[in-house]
Structure 1
């Protein structure tokens, strides 16, 4: 990478180098275990002109999203988050019976099904064939396509402008951030709203959330860099909310620049917090690599100690972020016998790179391991309750991030 993908600057500085890993959602079938597996460098840099953190676009969205292993509806808390968002958006944006809502990267319809239930016209734009089909089966109108300025214009011409465009957890997933933003502007009505949720670089840095760095995430936003990105497509930020989702996210509410007006006080407050954390100067990034190394050492020390004591450790979840962690730490089945996942699509497959078997969740209760390493640590509250049965035989839950923590009892 020699140029910033947002502003074109050559002033890119290293934040953390995680080596080379396979794409995090490229789960292996049993028949692929004797085949070569490509791995790509995973090196986060920050542009010191516009402060967009980014990795090189070594894979394309087409490589990842034509057939995708992630189905949003398998997370109970995420579905509830979507329902609450729709309820609030109806009031905040004033969505009446004649409104039109478009969600970009709509996955399996986890959010738009709440819009459908309200009788509001909507459309999902989802590039993954398999999850888009699941959305249509659930009664959510879905177009199988990537968003571009041309796609946005075509949808607008066929369906009319959208009163609300939603783009949750996709703004990091596209290397052409300018073209994607122009696509959002093409979709939204001239007096409409765009709501974007994306992980906040501030919490990623502060809480050692380095496993959320993977090849699908091409860039990592502060509010300051998001303002620059939105402006590239003719949108202006009017409000921001700090959310606990994915370990700490920002919800950006934007409007066409011509009607946006002055941003809220919350925008100024978050910008001030980012500046205080040093994220608009290089000093805010310099210690991150050393803290990432400590997470790795602590987790390996725990796993090796458990193995030497003859204790069993299995995993819970097979999220994309878990594969960054497993590969960076060099964890293999001798240290983590298997992991389980609620998504049956992953059962019988193996984690990329580390080749750890993925089984059904019922296997944990059958085997009664000493420890369960929780890979989707961002769902801690939900999973501590959901996995409370592990304590019945004296088992314990382990969370690797932001620092190694062992839950002795669920109560």
Structure 2
């Protein structure tokens, strides 16, 4: 197991006379971390600003991903805590129609795969506003959400989804097991990357799951992140970026063994890892071996295989900025659609300000009348696009492409076009 602690590293030097402790790997403790992608310094991506706050200073943090040369986990240092981000959270999963449908299909499939019924117990970690567990409730299956954000957890309870307001730790896992019994299924979507204490969190998963139960984890796949230049999914909430290999190693620290994997289209390309307590897991499936082989062929099972990504990212930035500058020179109006966390990484890294992007819109009323962190672009209601009839709409949540192309089909009425920045610049009539 890659869990022993390495010796304390030497300090890194940042300018004359300025030293900070060099980071160490949160999975194996090694001090041998290799630069993967440095996006400069940005504010936390979900810390949306009020009108009063845009007149005040704003704290930024380095956004520099490194790869451990020992265990290969790609990671950011824990410069902000989950408590800073998730106690009051701006993201509500249910505002994405396609994501709610994705959750429904998962519940259908998991119910059939695991033969879940009225006597079963399902736990979702980081259950947000009940977007997934509402489908479990509809089937009469006992369930519990574990959600740290007070505001979105309350929205889940209003839907009839039992929700515990807490961060998952081994102690929380023990509490859930003691009060509700062991879970037949523990599921978590897009949270395994959000945890700086990945070992403690994984042990919490093991505490909750039954000795013959299942754990399902969806997380973005580093292989597709690299292949499709999806650098905007890197932000301070995401502390690590997984290949299947590093996911397998992380699970092992909590006594869980990877048994199967599914490749998903969500978030530009994700993996759904199925794990069980190591004592009952058995051999991994053929699909596990196939995905591991694909990662190895792409070079991601060696430290050196991660090199070159930074250059590809800079090309995406250059193309997008050149397009926006030319549109401004021609007197064209460009606005944005969406105010997701990934969009704020893109805006800040590319230096896109209101002089190039007049505003962006979002379906979430929580964000209306506020401003994106860093670049301070106004966030308005979606109806503003039809009122203003812009020449171009820059799509920031590009991972929802099919959903948004349909939603924004009316832009064609005045000859407007949609712009997708990732994986490469594409203008769609």
Using the size of structure 2 for normalisation, the TM-score is 0.95
Question: Does the 8 Å CA contact 2:50/2:369 hold for their aligned counterparts?
Answer: yes
SS at match of 1:96: coil
Report Cα offsets for 1:133-188 as digits up to 9, x if no partner.
Answer: 00001110000000000000001000000000001100000000000000000000
Give structure 1 stretches of 5+ with no counterpart: none
Give structure 2 stretches of 5+ with no counterpart: 1-21
Q: Which of 270, 275, 278 is matched with 1:254 structurally?
A: 275
Separation (CA, whole Å) in 2 of partners of 1:387 and 1:223: 35
* Equivalence for 1:182: 203
Q: Which of 284, 289, 293 is matched with 1:268 structurally?
A: 289
* Equivalence for 1:286: 307
SS at match of 2:178: helix
Separation (CA, whole Å) in 2 of partners of 1:386 and 1:15: 36
Residues 5-404 of structure 1 correspond to what in structure 2 (within 5 A)? 5-404=26-425
SS at match of 2:100: helix
User: Shift of residue 386 of structure 1?
Assistant: 1.1
Report Cα offsets for 1:330-358 as digits up to 9, x if no partner.
Answer: 01000000000000000000000000000
Separation (CA, whole Å) in 2 of partners of 1:388 and 1:355: 27
Aligned length: 408
Separation (CA, whole Å) in 1 of partners of 2:359 and 2:329: 18
User: Shift of residue 284 of structure 1?
Assistant: 2.2
Using the size of structure 1 for normalisation, the TM-score is 0.99
SS at match of 2:287: helix
Report Cα offsets for 1:61-105 as digits up to 9, x if no partner.
Answer: 000000000000000000000000000000101102100000000
User: Shift of residue 283 of structure 1?
Assistant: 3.2
Q: Which moved further from structure 2: 283-292 or 301-310?
A: 283-292
Separation (CA, whole Å) in 2 of partners of 1:150 and 1:272: 37
SS at match of 2:385: helix
Separation (CA, whole Å) in 1 of partners of 2:150 and 2:56: 25
User: Shift of residue 2 of structure 1?
Assistant: 2.3
Separation (CA, whole Å) in 1 of partners of 2:45 and 2:273: 26
Separation (CA, whole Å) in 2 of partners of 1:101 and 1:210: 33
Report Cα offsets for 1:357-394 as digits up to 9, x if no partner.
Answer: 00000000000000000000011111111111101100
Q: CA RMSD in A?
A: 0.5
Report Cα offsets for 1:170-208 as digits up to 9, x if no partner.
Answer: 000000000000000000000000000000000001100
User: Shift of residue 285 of structure 1?
Assistant: 1.5
Separation (CA, whole Å) in 1 of partners of 2:131 and 2:60: 31
User: Shift of residue 11 of structure 1?
Assistant: 1.4
User: Shift of residue 3 of structure 1?
Assistant: 1.1
